Chains A and B, each alone.
Chain A
Amino acid sequence: MNVQSGLSVFLIFLLIGVVVNYVYYQNETRKLFAETQGVEKQKLELNAEWARLQIEKSTLVSNNRIEQVAREELNMKLPEDEQVMVIVR
């Protein structure tokens, strides 16, 4: 076996190796890409959910509602001017 044919065999195996590797990583890329797509979709959904919850929260803590709950359910009121005392150290 001369040097030339030895080199050829080596190159053929190298080529096969590279090609198999390429296919493998192409597949990996696709899988990872599909995953990013999924995660990105999830992100959009979570964002939408977050916005919805934020609106819900701002409705729950609206000054109107707080005042109503404080006055009617908890029987709270602002102190009258005569009831306010300032503490001096």
Chain B
Amino acid sequence: MKKSQHKQVNISLRIAIVMAFLLCCFVVVVVRAFSIQVRGAEFYQTQGEKRHVREVEIPVSRGSIYDRNGEPLALSTAMVSVGIVPGQLLDQFSKVEQLAEVLDLDADELKQIITSRKDRHFLFIKRRITPMLADQVKALNMKGVEFRTEFKRFYPTGEILANVVGFTDVEDIGQEGLERTYDNWLTGISGKKTVVKDLLGQVVADIDVDELKAAKPGKDLHLSLDRRLQYAAYMELKKAVYKHRATSGSAVVLDVKTGEILAMVNQPSFNPNGSKDSNEGLRNRSVTDIYEPGSVMKPFAVVAALESAEYTPQSVVNTSPGEYEVDGFVIHDFRDYGELSLVDILVKSSNIGVAKLVLGLGKEHLWDVYHRFGYGQSSGSGFMGESAGYLPHHERWRTADHAALSRGYNLSVTTLQLASAYSVFANQGRYRPPTFIKGNINEDKAIIDPMIASQLTDMLSHVVMDNEGHKAFIPNYSVAGKTGTARIAEKGGYSDNYMSSFVGFSPVSSPRLVVAISINNPQGEEYYGGLVAAPVFSKIMKTGLRLLNVPADQVTRTLVDITGVGVTDLTESDDAE
């Protein structure tokens, strides 16, 4: 009975109530779902992603620069840069004061920056601090202070290589020297990757490692320079510039066989690790500064004479009476040398001798010789800011210009060009463009007859060996080279200031190194290239030959019999070559 009564209770009503209840629930769910999925979609999506999916930057360092033996010349170290989100700091000025104290900043100024730029998302307040100092800042545990990894460039060799290697700016972009020349090679591309972070901010998974966004660290650069030789050359040049109170100076050491630049030094220089406010030392004068070289050009005039086949090294030219008029200009020699062979023209550095030699040849021929040796053109070293020098075209030469060019006036050259041109004599008449990069050896090409190159080598060795007590002399080695002392041109004529130079190579029997020295405006009693530049040449060359283990070819002091039976000292046996 009861059962049947129950059944009679309005069953359809019950179903309707349950259905209505379920429907209400369903509507609530749908409405909630709508508000989340549609109305609040953007908000929740960004909030969710903020907490979980992040694109993080992968910082990369700039490539290092090494010398030919792997000694570091420029390194990047990871430093920490501190930035702030001004909006988040507005209400915690007491902590801002602590922050300013740790970072050694002015607290009032920092507060002002925060208030005036409160809409900025991010700004650096101190860049490149040490990780230790960064830890102190992190200990303050401030909201709105962020840290980024940045790299600081450090130059262990300091001023010795400053104007060759150059430096980078605060954004790590090369500004001068090889840092600028090879900026693309050295610069890394910082990558980006998308990661999933948990609520604690720890990365739990990499997603979407995009090849295009992958970090590419900067590539290292291995220079042809030798740090030891560079140091020795720098010290010698610095001493000479100081001693002669010169304005500036440059020295270049080239490897004859490869064209590699082993050392390149300049005075004045600067400290690349400090501030770069003085402009004077920034230039790499060896390649950027041009000057009229003077007598160091005479060997090239002699090349022109020998190529004409009208002369041999023994041909005689009459230079009496020590004065010679060309086109209204009078050319002087130091004194009346009388009759000189071509060898002696170079040994005595006779202005009249070379003038008479080249005036008998065409202007075009002398121009062609100079042109072949690379004058008036960029050396091909690729150094940013390199000067091509200046060689006027032969069609514009007057006769007086023709004579002036034979003794190294009316054209301008760089010290590197002189070194490269002299290496042709040392390299059997083949010109090889110089390079700063180890192993990146440029193709050489024959520009003069090897026979003439060896004749010139022999003549240039007489320049040093025939002059008693020549300052370019190096014990136990044979040396070939030429001095130059040129007046420096100024507005309307020539000043009483001089450019003293010496270019030469050694050992003569199998040349290994070319060294070019130029010292600008020595103020002391001495200004002749033979007295100012040649001693620097001798010292740098001596060190270079020792560092490269080049065997001596002109031994004046020997010890024979190293077997221990008895050592004989053959002091002063001059001809033990």
Contact = CB atoms under 8 A, between A and B. Distances in A.
Interface of A: 29-30, 33-34, 37, 44, 47-48, 51-52, 54-55, 58-59, 62-64, 81-82, 84-89
A66 to B, nearest CB: 9
Nearest to B231: A63
A34 B476 contact: no
B559 A55 contact: no
B545 to A, nearest CB: 12
A85 B569 contact: yes
Closest 4 A/B residue pairs (Cβ): A58-B156, A63-B231, A48-B78, A51-B77
Interface size class of B (residues with CB under 8 A): 20 to 34
B77 A84 contact: no
Contacts, number: 68
Interface string B529-559: 0000000000000000000000010010111
Contact of A59 (B156, B206, B558): B156
Contacts of B528: none
A85 to B, nearest CB: 5
Main secondary structure of the interface of A (DSSP, over half): helix
A84 B562 contact: no
Interface in B52-73: 71-72
Contacts of B231: 63-64
A54 B558 contact: no
A85 B559 contact: yes
B560 interface: yes
A33 to B, nearest CB: 6
A55 to B, nearest CB: 5
B64 to A, nearest CB: 9
Contact of A87 (B157, B232, B559): B559
B156 A30 contact: no
A63 B206 CA distance: 47
B131 interface: yes
Interface stretch (B41-49, B197-205, B307-315, B382-390): B197-205
B228 A63 contact: yes
Contacts of B569: 85
A47 B231 CA distance: 28
